[in-house]
């Protein structure tokens, strides 16, 4: 074991989302190499990266095509500011993003992480109404269990959770509507017979307050960090219809769902929905370099397009906006979707994946099995009849994480929800191996 290096980690580093005291007894895993869907630690142990390194990896680690695009770019231009200057990769990637996204989206605003892609959408929406003479439309609607990042604005529109509860006094007020959480239905209905009544509170809210509401933000079809709540297409369609009817913006946060993860390039395609804003990051560069983008429409763009003295400019930007290396990676990653027929080839794999995870229903502590595209989630419960969850103190997720490592899997549960968030490079054989190992992790838990 490389104790020197790990001791320095302990001495100098404060890791994200981590109770550092947990590292008193053990070290984080020191990863040295990545290839395809595998990561290798400094002792030669091999792990399946079943969570795509925080949901970023799409085509596999260290894909040679993306590597060479980055190397080529590095030999030409490392970075340049993006106000008053531009460069080839940013332009070509923007063109590609517009071409592969819903047809009404025509403009790309770059930033560098998922939270900022959402902040940008919120601020643009807010200013749109000011610029177009409807200044009272200042509020936003978010969903319970929604997650849009850790900056103040993104937290404000996210659902209440352990992530943001400490910061509640700092957050701006936002309306929250129930989450379409079928397993724990907010309306106590069954999906087979329900009429998506969980959308009714949104309609009531809009009826009363739409003249003060700028927009609604949601993760289309899958609330990720809120517990991998995968919800009906019909819900998204209804929200989109209401947003249109009540003249508020529809902001879709595709940071996690974008770039094929749900089986289509973007989750909104399942519902044929045309958002006013689409927020992208994570998979955009295959997880190689930080990049984000907020896509929007001509209508929004035109509301900012005016003589300078009218003060309609969008004053927002980040130093690393549209970094040339990141945009080179993004462009190469999008090209790969075509070159390798990523989504076309995924269909059979996705069908196998959905078939093999059905056996997880046999595990007594698995209360719910949910899935879409390359994502599957298992909600663990103390009692299947009552759906009683494991408590915060049980830290069931920690046991799964540790057992996962012993079984060659990188699993990072979200509370009581264990999930597989797989890259497209996974073969059917690897897929079977990953699900078998995950199954044995869950069946071997001493609870």
Ligand X SMILES: Cc1ncc(COP(=O)(O)O)c(C=O)c1O
Contact 213, 249 (CB under 8 A): no
Task: Give least dist CB 161 to ligand X, A.
Answer: 12
Q: Which of 56, 381 has the CB closer to ligand X?
A: 56
Task: Give least dist CB 391 to ligand X, A.
Answer: 24
292-297 and 277-280 strand pairing: antiparallel
Q: Where on the chain is the footprint of ligand X (CB under 6 A)?
A: 113-115, 118, 147-149, 219, 224-225, 253, 255-256, 281
Q: Which of 309, 319 has the CB closer to ligand X?
A: 319
Contact 410, 50 (CB under 8 A): yes
Q: Which of 219, 379 has the CB closer to ligand X?
A: 219
Question: From the candidates 110, 112, 231, 253, which is the catalytic residue?
Answer: 253
Rounded CA separation 185/190 (Å): 7
Instruction: Report the Cα 75 to chain-centroid distance in Å.
Output: 32
Q: Which of 88, 123 has the CB closer to ligand X?
A: 123
Task: Give least dist CB 111 to ligand X, A.
Answer: 10
Question: From the candidates 264, 282, 349, 403, which is the catalytic residue?
Answer: 282
Question: From the candidates 48, 147, 231, 419, which is the catalytic residue?
Answer: 147
Task: Give least dist CB 371 to ligand X, A.
Answer: 17
Rounded CA separation 403/396 (Å): 11
Kindly report the three-state secondary structure assignment for every residue of 78-128. Answer: CCCCCCCCCCHHHHHHHHHHHHHCCCCEEEEEEECCHHHHHHHHHHHHHHH
Q: Which helix (H) or strand (E) holds 364?
A: none
Written as one string, the DSSP assignment of 372-420 is: ETTEEEEEEEEETTTTEEPPGGG-HHHHHHHHHHHTTEE---BTTEEEE
Is 22 among the residues known to form the active site? no
Question: From the candidates 4, 11, 12, 17, which is the catalytic residue?
Answer: 17
Q: Which of 108, 255 has the CB closer to ligand X?
A: 255
CB-based closest residue to ligand X: 114
Task: Give least dist CB 439 to ligand X, A.
Answer: 26
Is 17 among the residues known to form the active site? yes
Could you give the 3-state DSSP secondary structure of residue 346?
helix
Location of structure tokens 């936003």: 140
Task: Give least dist CB 293 to ligand X, A.
Answer: 12
Backbone angles phi and psi of 382, in degrees to 5: -70, -40
Backbone angles phi and psi of 215, in degrees to 5: -170, 170
Percentages of the chain per state (helix, strand, coil), in multiples of 5: 40, 20, 40
Is 253 among the residues known to form the active site? yes
Is 402 among the residues known to form the active site? no
Q: Which of 54, 246 has the CB closer to ligand X?
A: 54
Backbone angles phi and psi of 223, in degrees to 5: -85, 110
Task: Give least dist CB 146 to ligand X, A.
Answer: 8
Q: Which of 118, 409 has the CB closer to ligand X?
A: 118
Could you give the 3-state DSSP secondary structure of residue 177?
strand
Give the residue numbers annotated as catalytic, written as ranges. Answer: 17, 147, 253, 282
């Amino acid at each position: 074991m490389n104790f020197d290096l790990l001791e320095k980690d302990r001495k100098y580093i404060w890791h994200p989302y981590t109770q550092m005291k947990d590292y008193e007894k053990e070290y984080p895993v020191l990863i040295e190499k990545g290839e395809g869907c595998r990561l290798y630690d400094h002792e030669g142990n091999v792990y399946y990266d079943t969570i795509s390194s925080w949901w970023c990896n799409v085509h596999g680690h260290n894909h040679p095509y993306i590597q060479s695009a980055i190397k080529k770019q590095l030999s030409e231009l490392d970075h340049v500011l993006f106000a008053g200057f531009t460069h080839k990769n940013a332009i070509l990637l923007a063109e590609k993003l517009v071409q592969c996204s819903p047809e009404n989206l025509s403009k790309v605003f770059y930033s560098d992480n998922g939270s900022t892609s959402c902040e940008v959408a919120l601020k643009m929406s807010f200013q749109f109404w000011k610029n177009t003479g409807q200044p009272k439309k200042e509020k936003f609607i978010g969903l319970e269990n929604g997650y849009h990042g850790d900056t103040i604005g993104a937290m404000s529109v996210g659902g209440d959770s352990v992530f943001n509860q400490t910061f509640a006094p700092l957050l701006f007020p936002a309306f929250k509507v129930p989450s379409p959480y079928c397993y724990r239905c907010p309306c106590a209905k069954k999906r087979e017979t329900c009429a998506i009544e969980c959308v009714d509170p949104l309609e009531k809210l809009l009826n009363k307050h739409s003249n003060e509401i700028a927009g609604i933000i949601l993760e289309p079809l899958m609330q990720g960090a809120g517990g991998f709540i995968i919800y009906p297409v019909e819900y998204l369609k209804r929200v989109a219809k209401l947003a249109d009817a009540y003249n508020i913006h529809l902001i879709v946060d595709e940071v996690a769902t974008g770039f094929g993860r749900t089986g289509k390039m973007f989750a909104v395609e399942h519902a044929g929905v045309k958002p006013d804003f689409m927020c992208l990051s994570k998979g955009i560069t295959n997880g190689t370099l930080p990049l984000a983008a907020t896509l929007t429409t001509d209508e929004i763009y035109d509301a900012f397009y005016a003589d300078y003295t009218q003060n309609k400019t969008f004053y927002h930007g980040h130093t690393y906006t549209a970094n040339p290396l990141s945009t080179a990676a993004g462009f190469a990653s999008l090209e790969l979707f075509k070159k390798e027929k990523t989504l076309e080839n995924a269909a059979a794999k996705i069908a196998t994946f959905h078939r093999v995870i059905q056996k997880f229903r046999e595990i007594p502590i698995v209360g719910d099995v949910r899935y879409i595209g390359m994502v599957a989630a298992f909600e663990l419960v103390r009692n299947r009849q009552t759906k009683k969850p494991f408590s915060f103190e049980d830290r069931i997720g920690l046991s799964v994480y540790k057992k996962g490592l012993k079984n060659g899997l990188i699993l990072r549960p979200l509370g009581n929800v264990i999930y597989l968030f797989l890259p497209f490079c996974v073969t059917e054989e690897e897929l079977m191996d990953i699900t078998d190992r995950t199954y044995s992790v869950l069946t071997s838990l001493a609870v």
